[in-house]
């Protein structure tokens, strides 16, 4: 069928409209559901499959709260380091694709790749040149009142100067993440062109924490990009984390006392290790009733007392009211070879 209407088709359509023979189609949308509930008032929102939301709202709030603490610690550390007031605050916290994040970055910029010791993959910390060069000028004794921001990659000397600033940022980031998990962050590489770095595929979901930095009359942005597959193993900890103290101090103390009381009534298994030795599988298979197993430990030596299989005390064998007993001499301290 031709897509172009000739004059005869147009006349037929006009005649049908004049005679009211054209059926009106119902443009209202229908919603189908397996449940029998009334869904006439259901809210329908569009979903973009190119930008899936893999992080829940609760987890996003937890990440924002966590990095607000990072911003405070980082601002305080920079203020002491630069001998000037530096304000750092969280401006945005959103999830997007890595391609969208990189396309919105300037070139050149300071693009630092960060790795965590117990997480797979890399994060990235991007610092705008609008705030980098004022910080460098401050470190070199300038006032940055009439500073010109060059549109070029940083030199080796400038990179070494800004390295001390990023180290303060990694320290503040580690302190902020301590409430979730002990992490040690380290910068593995630095690049000026973000288009040349691809830590994840362009359509991979990342969480971007946008921060604003102010130094006297200068301001700039800093973005922390965390791929979802990097923090996926600890997302459950973010969901269950209690970021705010709930209840009074008396309630917390009462709960602590109740837990301590329950623990004091718990029973544990205690065993004494007289001696230990090693033997081959051939000797073990040939053991029979009446055989002797010799150890290198004299009978006069103290024994090791284990609590639930963990070596805790050093003691001596004896008797108490016709029962075998162990007298505790001391605790086992770290470094003891027992």
42 — pLDDT class (breaks 50, 70, 90): low
- Contacts of 202 by beta carbon, 8 Å cutoff, 6+ apart: 97, 98, 99, 102
Q: What is the CATH number of the domain that holds 212?
A: 3.40.1550.10
> Residue 329 maps to which CATH number?
2.30.330.10
- Residue 84 sits in the same domain as residue 176: yes
Ranking 83-87, 132-136, 236-240 by mean pLDDT, the lowest is 236-240
Shared domain for 205 and 309, answered yes or no, is: no
Average pLDDT over residues 225-230: 90
- Residues 273, 233 share a domain: no
Within this chain, do residues 304 and 219 fall inside the same structural domain, yes or no? Answer: no
Give the pLDDT band (50/70/90) at residue 245. Answer: very low
Give residue-wise pLDDT tens across range 168-185.
999 999 998 888 888 899
One domain for residues 327 and 272:
yes
List, in sequence order, the alpha helices (H) in the chain: 7-18, 57-82, 98-103, 129-139, 156-177, 228-231, 235-240, 249-264, 281-285
Residue 246 binned pLDDT confidence (cut-offs 50, 70, 90): very low
Q: Is residue 203 part of a domain?
A: yes
pLDDT tens digits along 51-102: 556 777 888 888 899 999 999 999 999 998 888 899 999 999 998 889 989 9
Average pLDDT in the 300-317 region? Answer: 87
| Whether 204 and 105 share a structural domain | yes
Containing domain of residue 274, as a range? 267-280+296-338
Q: How many domains does the chain have?
A: 2
Judge whether 149 lies within some domain. yes
- Any residues with CB less than 8 A from the CB of 111 and at least 6 apart, and which? 105, 124, 125, 126, 190, 191, 192, 193, 194, 197
Confidence of residue 249 (pLDDT cuts 50, 70, 90): low
Span 180-193, average pLDDT = 89
| Residues 137, 144 contacting (CB under 8 angstroms) | yes
Q: Based on the domain organization, do 81 and 187 belong to the same domain?
A: yes
Q: Is residue 247 over pLDDT 50? A: no
Q: Is residue 255 part of a domain?
A: no
* 235 and 302 within one domain: no
Judge if 80 and 168 occupy the same domain: yes
Phi, psi for residue 252 in degrees, rounded to 5: -65, -40
**Res. 329 pLDDT band, cuts 50 70 90:** confident
Do 61 and 128 lie in one domain? The reply is: yes
């Amino acid at each position: 069928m031709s897509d172009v209407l000739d004059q005869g088709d147009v006349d037929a359509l006009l005649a049908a409209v004049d005679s009211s023979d054209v059926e009106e189609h119902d443009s209202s949308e229908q919603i189908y559901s397996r449940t029998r509930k009334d869904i006439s008032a259901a809210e329908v929102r569009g979903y973009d499959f190119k930008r899936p939301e893999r992080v829940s709202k609760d987890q996003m709030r937890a990440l924002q709260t966590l990095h607000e603490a990072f911003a405070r610690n980082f601002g305080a550390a920079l203020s002491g380091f630069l001998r000037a007031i530096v304000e750092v605050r969280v401006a945005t916290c959103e999830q997007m694709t890595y391609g969208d994040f990189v396309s919105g970055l300037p070139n050149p910029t300071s693009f630092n790749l960060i790795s965590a010791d117990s997480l797979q993959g890399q994060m990235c910390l991007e610092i705008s040149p609008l705030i980098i060069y004022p910080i460098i000028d401050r470190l070199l004794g300038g006032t940055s009142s009439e500073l010109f921001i060059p549109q070029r990659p940083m030199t080796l000397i400038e990179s070494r100067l800004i390295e001390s600033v990023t180290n303060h940022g990694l320290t503040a980031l580690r302190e902020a993440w301590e409430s979730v998990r002990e992490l040690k962050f380290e910068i593995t590489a630095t690049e000026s062109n973000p288009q040349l770095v691809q830590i994840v595929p362009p359509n991979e979901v990342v969480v971007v924490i946008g921060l604003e930095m102010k130094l006297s009359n200068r301001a700039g942005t800093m973005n922390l990009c965390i791929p979802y597959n990097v923090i996926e193993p600890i997302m459950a900890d973010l969901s269950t984390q209690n970021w705010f103290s709930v209840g009074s101090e008396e309630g917390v103390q009462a709960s602590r006392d109740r837990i301590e009381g329950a623990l004091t009534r718990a029973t544990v298994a205690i065993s004494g290790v007289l001696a230990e030795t090693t033997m081959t599988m051939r000797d073990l298979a040939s053991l029979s009733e009446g055989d002797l197993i010799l150890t290198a430990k004299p009978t006069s030596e103290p024994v090791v007392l284990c609590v639930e299989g963990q070596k805790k005390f050093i003691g001596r064998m004896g008797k108490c009211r016709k029962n075998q007993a162990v007298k505790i001499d001391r605790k086992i301290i770290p470094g003891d070879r027992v």
